[in-house]
Amino acid sequence: MTERRLSGTGVAPRSGAGTGVWYGPDAAVALGDPPDPDSVDAERERDRFEEAREVAREELRRARDRTAERLGESEAAVFDAHVQFLDDPQITEDVDAELDAGYPAEHAVRRAFDRVIEEFADLDGRMAERADDLRDVRDRLLRLLLDEERTDLAALPPGSVVLAERLTPSDTARLDPDRIAGFATVSGGPTSHAAIFARSLGLPAVVGVGEALRDVDDGAEVVVDGSEGTVVVDPAESTLEAAAADADVEVRRDPVATADGTPIEVAANAGTEADVRAAVEHGADGIGLFRTEFLFLDQSSPPTEDEQYDVYREALAAFPDGRVVVRTLDVGGDKPVDYLDRPESENPFLGERGVRRSLGPDADLFETQLRALLRAAGDADGGRLSVMVPLVSTVEEVDAATETLDSVAADLDADGVSNARPEFGVMVETPAAAFLAEDLLDRVDFLSVGTNDLAQYVMAAARGDERVAGLRDYRQPAVLRAIEATVAAAAGTDAWVGICGEMAGDPDLTPLLVGLGFDELSVSPPAVPQIKRAVAETTRSDARELARRALAAATKQEVTEILDASR
Partner 1 sequence: MPERVVTVVPEDGLHARPASKFVEAAGEADAEITVGRVDGDQVNAVSMVSVTRLDVEPGEEVRLIAEGDGAEAALDELVRILTTPEDEL
The residues that touch partner 1, with contacts defined as CB under 8 A, are: 74, 77-78, 80-81, 84-85, 87-91, 116, 119-120, 123, 126-127, 130, 298-301
Indicate the residue type of 409.
A
CB of 45 to partner 1, least distance (A): 22
Which one, 84 or 541, has the nearer CB to partner 1? 84
Dihedral, 378, 380, 383, 388 alpha carbons, nearest 10: 10
Which one, 294 or 424, has the nearer CB to partner 1? 294
Whether 463 has a binding-site annotation, put simply, is yes
CB of 52 to partner 1, least distance (A): 18
What gap in Å lies between CA 146 and CA 224, rounded to an integer?
33
What gap in Å lies between CA 497 and CA 503, rounded to an integer?
15
Which one, 337 or 392, has the nearer CB to partner 1? 337
CB of 81 to partner 1, least distance (A): 5
CB of 502 to partner 1, least distance (A): 27
Annotated catalytic sites, by residue? 193, 500
β-sheet with 180-185: strand ranges across: 4-7, 230-233, 221-225, 15-23, 160-164, 180-185, 205-207, 9-10
DSSP-derived secondary structure letter, 257: E
What gap in Å lies between CA 381 and CA 364, rounded to an integer?
28
CB of 88 to partner 1, least distance (A): 5
Which one, 84 or 418, has the nearer CB to partner 1? 84
Q: Are 242 and 250 in contact (CB under 8 A)?
A: no
Which one, 120 or 349, has the nearer CB to partner 1? 120
Contacts of 113 (CB under 8 A, 6+ apart): 91, 134, 135, 137, 138, 141
Contacts of 499 (CB under 8 A, 6+ apart): 448, 449, 451, 483, 513, 518, 520, 521, 522
CB of 300 to partner 1, least distance (A): 5
What gap in Å lies between CA 537 and CA 514, rounded to an integer?
11
Inter-CA distances, 188 with 136, 165, 208, 375, 488, Å: 16, 9, 5, 42, 42
What gap in Å lies between CA 284 and CA 323, rounded to an integer?
10
Which one, 127 or 154, has the nearer CB to partner 1? 127
Which one, 123 or 245, has the nearer CB to partner 1? 123
Whether 452 has a binding-site annotation, put simply, is yes
Closest C-alpha to 162, from 7, 4, 24: 24
CB of 117 to partner 1, least distance (A): 10
HEC profile of 273-337:
HHHHHHHHHCCCCCEEEEECHHHHCCCCCCCCHHHHHHHHHHHHHHCCCCEEEEECCCCECCECC
Whether 327 has a binding-site annotation, put simply, is yes
CB of 153 to partner 1, least distance (A): 24
What gap in Å lies between CA 388 and CA 393, rounded to an integer?
14
Which one, 193 or 282, has the nearer CB to partner 1? 193
- Strand partners of residue 270: 290
Q: Are 301 and 326 in contact (CB under 8 A)?
A: no
What gap in Å lies between CA 62 and CA 412, rounded to an integer?
47
Which one, 200 or 522, has the nearer CB to partner 1? 200
CB of 292 to partner 1, least distance (A): 14
Buried b (16+ CB within 10 A) or exposed e, 103-116: bbbbbbbbbbbeeb
Whether 453 has a binding-site annotation, put simply, is yes
Phi and psi at 335, nearest 5°, equal -100, 105
What gap in Å lies between CA 433 and CA 109, rounded to an integer?
62
Contacts of 345 (CB under 8 A, 6+ apart): 332, 351, 352
What gap in Å lies between CA 105 and CA 119, rounded to an integer?
22
Binding residues: 291, 327, 429, 452-453, 463
Which residues are known binding-site members for phosphoenolpyruvate? 291, 327, 452-453, 463
Q: Which residues are annotated as a binding site for Mg(2+)?
A: 429, 453
